[in-house]
C-alpha cells in the first residue's frame, strides 16, 4: 500500500516555528541528522549514529553493522526466490545470516522510492532506542556506497495484511481468538511507545501491513521511519508535512498537521475495525457506499441490530457475540472524530485484555449479547461521547 507524503500540502504554522526554536536536546527532528549522515562514510558515520542515539535517549539494542557482501551471501544475491514483500521503501528479502545464526528479513532502500534517507536513519535511531516484545527487532544495517539496507528479525507469518486482507485462497482465515491476540499485541506495542519508551514515541504509520506476525501469531510493529518523538506536555507538534497512509490517518492530523498520540489511537481503531470486519479501510473494488470502511461503519455503530452483520463473513459466525460487541465498542471509541475524547492506549490495552480473557473464560451464550447494552451504548454514542476513559467495554 502506498504511503502518501501529504494528504494536505505543506502545513506550516506559527506554532511550528515557535516550537522549533525551543527544541531541546533530545527533542530534535531527524532532518538535519539524516542530511549530515548522508555525507559521512564508514566508521565516522557509525560513530555519529551512536552519538545521536545517546542524545535522544539510551540505546536499548545492539544494532550491528553488516557488510553488503554479508547481505549478498544471506539472500543468495537478492534472489527473487527470497523476495517476501515490496513496500514504499523497497524490496524485502528473507535470508539467513551466518554471523548471527538466524533467519533475517533484509529490506533494501530503493533510492527512487517515496521514502528515503531520512526514514532510513529514523528507523535505525528509533529501533535502537526501543525494546519490547511487540516491536520488531532491528538486528543491523548496512550503509556502503549507495546501498542502504536494514536487517530485521524474520517474522515467519509476514504481515497482518497478508492474512486479513490479501489472503491466498489456500490459506485459512484468521479465527476470532487469533484476531484478538493480534490486536492485543499490537495495542501493547503502541502502548509501550506512548507510555514507557524514553523518550515517548508517536508511531504515525500504524496499519495492517506494518503489523508483522511471528510463527505463533504474536504481533510486532514494524516501520519506524515515520515515527516521531512525542512533544512534551504543553508543547505543540505541528509537522511540516502530513505523513502516513491514506485511510489510516486521523482527520485532525490530515487537516492541520497537528500530531498527538491520539493520531495513533485513531489508526489503531481503523486497523481493529479491519480485523473485526475483514474489510480494507479503502477498497475501491466495493460498491461506492462501502469503499470507505469508516463511512460504512458509522451508521452501523449506532444500530445494535447491525453489529453481527459487521463481522467478517470468513469467521462463519464463529465468534462470541458479546466479544464482538465489546470489540466494536473499542473500535468506535478509538475512531471518535474529536481526538480528545479518544481513549489512551493503556485504556485500550485494558479493554482488550478483558475481551481476550472473557473469551477464554466463558463460553459465550447467545442470550448474553442482549444483556450487553452497556457495551452497545459505547458504540451507539460514537462521535458524541465526551468521556470514554473510565468506562470499560
Ligand atoms: N521482518 C519481516 N519479516 C518477514 N516479512 C517482512 C518483514 N518486514 C517486512 N516483511 C514483508 O514485506 C512486506 C513489505 O514490507 P514494507 O514494510 O516494506 O512495506 P509495506 O508495509 O507493505 O508498505 P509501506 O512501504 O507503505 O510501509 C510486508 O508486508 C511483509 O509481508
Ligand atoms: Mg511496512
Question: Which ligand 1 atom is the nearest neighbour of the CA of 155?
Answer: 3
pLDDT above 70 as % of the chain: 73
Between CA 121 and CA 129 the distance in angstroms is: 12
Domains, the chain, with CATH or none: 24-153 (3.30.200.20), 160-384 (1.10.510.10)
Q: Whose CA is nearest to atom 17 of ligand 1?
A: 87
Question: Which ligand 1 atom is the nearest neighbour of the CA of 209?
Answer: 21
Q: Is the pLDDT of residue 89 over 70?
A: yes
Q: What is the pLDDT of residue 226?
A: 75
Q: Whose CA is nearest to atom 7 of ligand 1?
A: 105
Nearest ligand to the CA of 243 is: 1
Which DSSP string do the residues of 176-215 spell out, in sequence order?
HHHHHHHHHHHHHHHHIIIIISSS-EE-----GGGEEE-T
pLDDT above 90 as % of the chain: 55
10 Å CB burial of residue 316 (0-12, 13-18, 19+) is: exposed
Ligand 1 pocket: which of 90, 92, 135, 214 to mutate (most atoms <8 Å of CB)? 92
SS3 279: coil
Contacts 24+ apart (CB under 8 A), 91-97: 94/154, 95/71, 97/66, 97/70, 97/139, 97/151
Across 58-214, the runs of DSSP E, i.e. the strands, are 64-65, 83-86, 91-97, 102-108, 138-144, 147-153, 201-202, 211-213
Between CA 128 and CA 131 the distance in angstroms is: 8
Of 123-137, 342-356, 365-379, the poorest mean pLDDT is in 365-379
**pLDDT tens, residue by residue, 291-336:** 999 999 999 999 999 999 999 999 999 999 999 999 999 999 999 9
Q: What is the pLDDT of residue 361?
A: 58
Q: What is the pLDDT of residue 227?
A: 77
- CA 301 – ligand 1 centroid, Å: 32
Indicate whether residue 88 lines ligand 1 (CB < 6 A): yes
Calculate the CA dihedral of residues 56, 62, 63, 69 and round it to 10 degrees: 160
Question: Which ligand 1 atom is the nearest neighbour of the CA of 207?
Answer: 21
Indicate whether residue 105 lines ligand 1 (CB < 6 A): yes
Which residues are the active-site residues?
205
SS3 107: strand
Indicate whether residue 162 lines ligand 1 (CB < 6 A): yes
Q: What is the pLDDT of residue 49?
A: 65
Q: Whose CA is nearest to atom 22 of ligand 1?
A: 87
Which DSSP string do the residues of 326-384 spell out, in sequence order?
HHHHHHHHHT-SSGGGSPPHHHHHHHHHHHHHHHHHSPPPGGGGGG-HHHHHHHHTTTT
Indicate whether residue 212 lines ligand 1 (CB < 6 A): yes
Indicate whether residue 155 lines ligand 1 (CB < 6 A): yes
Q: 254 near 8, Cβ under 8 Å?
A: yes
Average pLDDT, the chain: 79
- The answer to whether the Cα torsion of 37, 194, 351, 362 is positive or negative is positive
Q: What is the pLDDT of residue 318?
A: 96
Indicate whether residue 92 lines ligand 1 (CB < 6 A): yes
Nearest CA among 345, 177, 193 for reference residue 275 = 177
Q: Roughly how many angstroms between the first and final C-alpha of the chain, as a whole number?
A: 32
- CA 89 – ligand 1 centroid, Å: 9
Q: What is the pLDDT of residue 90?
A: 87
Cell numbers of 163, please? 492474512
Q: What is the pLDDT of residue 152?
A: 96
- CA 84 – ligand 1 centroid, Å: 8
SS3 147: strand
- CA 87 – ligand 1 centroid, Å: 6
Indicate whether residue 247 lines ligand 1 (CB < 6 A): no
- CA 208 – ligand 1 centroid, Å: 10
**pLDDT tens, residue by residue, 360-390:** 555 544 444 433 433 333 343 333 332 222 2
Ligand 1 pocket: which of 2, 74, 75, 85 to mutate (most atoms <8 Å of CB)? 85
Give ion ligand 2 contacts, CB < 5 A.
Answer: 87, 210, 223
**pLDDT tens, residue by residue, 156-206:** 999 999 999 988 888 899 999 999 999 999 999 999 999 999 889 999 999
DSSP 283: -
| Top-confidence residue, 386 or 150 | 150
- CA 142 – ligand 2 centroid, Å: 19
Amino acid at each position: 500500500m502506498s504511503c502518501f507524503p501529504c494528504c494536505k500540502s505543506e502545513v506550516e504554522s506559527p506554532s511550528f516555528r515557535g516550537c522549533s526554536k525551543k527544541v531541546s536536546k533530545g527533542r530534535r527532528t531527524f532532518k538535519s541528522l539524516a542530511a549530515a549522515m548522508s555525507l559521512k562514510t564508514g566508521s565516522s558515520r557509525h560513530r555519529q549514529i551512536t552519538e545521536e542515539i545517546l542524545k535522544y535517549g539510551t540505546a536499548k539494542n545492539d544494532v550491528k553493522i553488516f557488510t553488503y557482501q554479508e547481505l549478498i551471501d544471506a539472500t543468495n544475491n537478492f534472489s527473487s526466490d527470497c523476495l517476501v514483500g515490496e513496500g514504499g521503501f523497497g524490496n524485502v528479502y528473507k535470508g539467513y545470516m551466518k554471523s548471527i545464526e538466524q533467519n533475517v528479513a533484509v529490506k533494501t532502500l530503493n533510492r527512487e522510492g517515496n521514502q528515503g534517507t531520512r526514514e532510513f536513519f529514523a528507523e535505525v535511531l528509533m529501533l535502537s532506542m526501543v525494546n519490547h516484545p511487540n516491536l520488531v527487532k532491528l538486528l543491523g544495517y548496512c550503509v556502503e556506497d549507495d546501498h542502504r539496507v536494514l536487517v530485521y528479525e524474520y517474522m515467519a507469518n509476514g504481515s497482518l495484511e497478508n492474512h486479513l486482507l490479501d489472503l491466498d485462497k489456500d490459506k485459512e482465515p484468521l479465527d476470532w481468538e487469533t484476531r484478538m491476540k493480534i490486536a492485543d499485541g499490537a495495542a501493547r506495542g503502541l502502548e509501550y511507545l506512548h507510555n514507557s519508551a524514553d523518550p515517548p514515541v508517536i508511531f504515525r504509520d500504524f496499519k495492517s501491513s506494518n503489523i508483522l506476525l511471528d510463527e505463533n501469531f504474536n504481533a510486532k510493529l514494524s516501520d519506524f521511519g515515520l515515527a516521531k518523538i512525542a512533544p512534551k506536555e504543553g508543547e505543540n507538534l505541528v509537522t511540516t508535512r502530513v505523513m502516513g497512509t491514506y485511510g489510516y490517518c486521523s482527520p485532525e492530523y490530515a487537516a492541520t498537521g497537528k500530531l498527538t498520540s491520539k493520531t495513533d489511537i485513531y489508526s489503531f481503531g481503523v486497523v481493529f475495525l479491519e480485523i473485526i470486519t475483514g474489510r480494507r479501510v479503502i477498497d475501491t473494488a466495493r460498491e461506492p457506499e462501502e469503499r470507505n470502511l469508516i463511512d460504512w461503519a458509522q451508521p452501523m455503530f449506532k444500530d445494535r441490530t447491525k453489529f453481527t452483520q459487521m463481522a467478517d463473513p470468513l469467521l462463519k459466525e464463529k465468534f462470541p457475540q458479546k466479544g464482538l460487541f465489546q470489540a466494536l465498542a473499542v473500535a468506535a471509541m478509538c475512531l471518535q472524530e474529536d481526538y480528545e475524547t479518544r481513549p489512551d492506549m493503556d485504556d485500550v490495552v485494558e479493554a482488550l485484555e478483558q475481551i481476550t480473557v472473557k473469551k477464554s473464560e466463558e463460553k459465550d451464550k447467545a442470550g448474553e449479547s442482549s444483556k450487553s447494552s452497556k457495551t452497545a451504548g459505547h458504540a451507539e454514542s460514537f462521535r458524541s461521547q465526551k468521556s470514554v476513559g473510565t468506562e470499560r467495554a
